[in-house]
Structures are given as C-alpha cells and as structure tokens.
Structure 1
Amino acid sequence: MEIPRGTLETQTFYEQAGGEETFRRLARRFYEGVAEDPLLRPMYPEEDLGPAEERLALFLMQYWGGPRTYSEQRGHPRLRMRHAPFTVNRAAHDAWLRHMRDAVDSLELPAPLEKKLWDYLVYAAGSMVNSAD
C-alpha cells in the first residue's frame, strides 16, 4: 500500500508543528518575556527586540525543516560564536528557559511535538553557557 504524500511520515517537524505561524508565535511570546527580564534584556543592545525576534523565528523555522531564509540572510548559524560576546551563566540559562517554557506552553502543541521541541531548546540553552559566574 502506498502512503499518500503529506502524511505525518513525510512531513518535517516544521510542518507537523504548524509551520511559520507556530515559530513566529513562539518567538513573539518568548521576546515578550525577555522584554521585561532584568537579566536577559541587557543582552539585546537593540532598543527594538523585533530584529532579534525575527532572527530566532527564522533560525527555528530553518532548524526544524522550513525555509532556509536564516542562512540565506545571515550565513551559517554558528550559535556559540554569535553568543560569545555575552556572559551566559546558569542564571541566564535558567531565565532563557523560563521564558521559552512559557512560549512553548502557549503553543499548545501535541505532547510528542512539544517534547521534541522542548528537548532541543533545553539542549540549545545548555550549549550556550559560557561562564560559571
């Protein structure tokens, strides 16, 4: 029996999770939290968090199988290098995950998709830590 195209078996995580709208909602909710966070907000020197929100949305869309716009605009993600100028300690890690947890929860994804996304975000946050302070 042939499996019809477009079934879950052939869809990327990006498609399964709801595509561009889902990742834009995630980034928007995350940066709403960052905007009010005294620890994280200073890590974003731009007055307007819109460009950072756009970069995060584009990165996550690309990572999960969506358009490659991030790399087309910015080159290879090189996340550790891009975050190196900032002190990312355990407190920053925890604050980042706190806002990301709220953003992920707001999406109300099916449990298996939510777990896959969250596991990646926890891994990514851990890999950005560059200071014991």
Structure 2
Amino acid sequence: MTEIPRGTVQQQTFFDAVGGEPTFRRLVHRFYEGVAGDPILRPMYPEEDLGPAEKRLTLFLMQYWGGPRTYSENRGHPRLRMRHVPFQVDRAAHDAWLAHMRDAVDELQLAPEHERQLWDYLVYAANSMINTTG
C-alpha cells in the first residue's frame, strides 16, 4: 500500500461543496427579499437600503463555512450576539427570520446532507440571537 504524503490531500470545505460564493450570494439575496417586506424584521435594519446588511451576512456565512476571511478582515471578530444587542430579538423575530431563511435555503436545492447541515446551523444561530422574552 502506498502512503499519500502528508499535506497532499485537501478536504473540501462546505463552502466549496455547495458551490462557493454564488450559492451564498443567492441564499442571502433571497433571504433579504423576504426581509424587505417583513413588518417584524424590516424595522431592525436602519439603513434605507438593505444592501450593506446583505453584504455583511453574505461575507459572514461564506467565512463561517470555509470561504474567504473577508468578513473578519473588514469587521473583526463576528461577535454576533453583541452586534444584535441594540435590537429586540424575540420569538416572533426568530420565527420570521427562520421563515425567510427557510424559503432561501429551499430555493438553493442543495443535496439533502448539505441542506440539513446548513439548516441546523441557521436554527442554532437564530436561537442564540434571542435576547428579549415575548
């Protein structure tokens, strides 16, 4: 049996496995299409244009899943809970966020194992952002 020299086998990241940057751009764009008309979530975005928020979430998710580290290079450590403290994130906001994200994930038509892995993370993330009872 021939050994493969150490360091020659690269494991594919989730980012690469699901199609890289275009996939994450589609996911987040679709998500923000839903947010734009959502009476619970839209007020949490003070910018007139959702573009900057869309860019931030895209960069964050790409980095989280093994893509470029652009998010941290531009914004430092994600500190997600801290960044969401100014907003009242209750169960209704959680549910609305997940509903729009579910729509966006479904539209990607990922392989079942990738869809499950992504969705599990998004549910975990949504739960961890709740900072207000109600």
Question: Is there any run of 5+ residues in structure 1 with no aligned partner, and where?
Answer: none
Task: Show the counterpart of 2:53.
Answer: 52
Shift, 1:5, TM fit: 4.8
1:22 aligns to 2:8 (yes or no): no
Task: Show the counterpart of 1:37.
Answer: 38
Task: Show the counterpart of 2:101.
Answer: 100
Task: Show the counterpart of 2:62.
Answer: 61
TM-score calculated relative to the size of structure 1 = 0.94
1:15 alignment partner AA? D
1:89 aligns to 2:94 (yes or no): no
CA distance in 2, matches of 1:5, 1:20: 23
SS in 2 for 1:18: coil
Residues 76-120 of structure 1: CA distance to partner in whole angstroms, max 9, x if unpaired?
000000000000000000000000000000100000000000000
CA distance in 2, matches of 1:64, 1:56: 12
Percent identity, aligned pairs only?
Answer: 73
2:131 alignment partner AA? N
Task: Show the counterpart of 2:75.
Answer: 74
Shift, 1:42, TM fit: 0.2
Question: Is there any run of 5+ residues in structure 2 with no aligned partner, and where?
Answer: none
2:22 alignment partner AA? E
1:95 alignment partner AA? A
1:132 alignment partner AA? T
CA distance in 1, matches of 2:86, 2:21: 29
CA distance in 2, matches of 1:87, 1:17: 33
TM-score calculated relative to the size of structure 2 = 0.93
Residues 23-82 of structure 1: CA distance to partner in whole angstroms, max 9, x if unpaired?
000010000000010000000000000000000000000000000000000000000000
Q: Which has the larger radius of gyration?
A: 2
Length, aligned pairs only: 129
Task: Show the counterpart of 2:116.
Answer: 115
CA distance in 2, matches of 1:107, 1:49: 21
Q: Runs of at least 4 residues of structure 1 off by over 4 A?
A: none
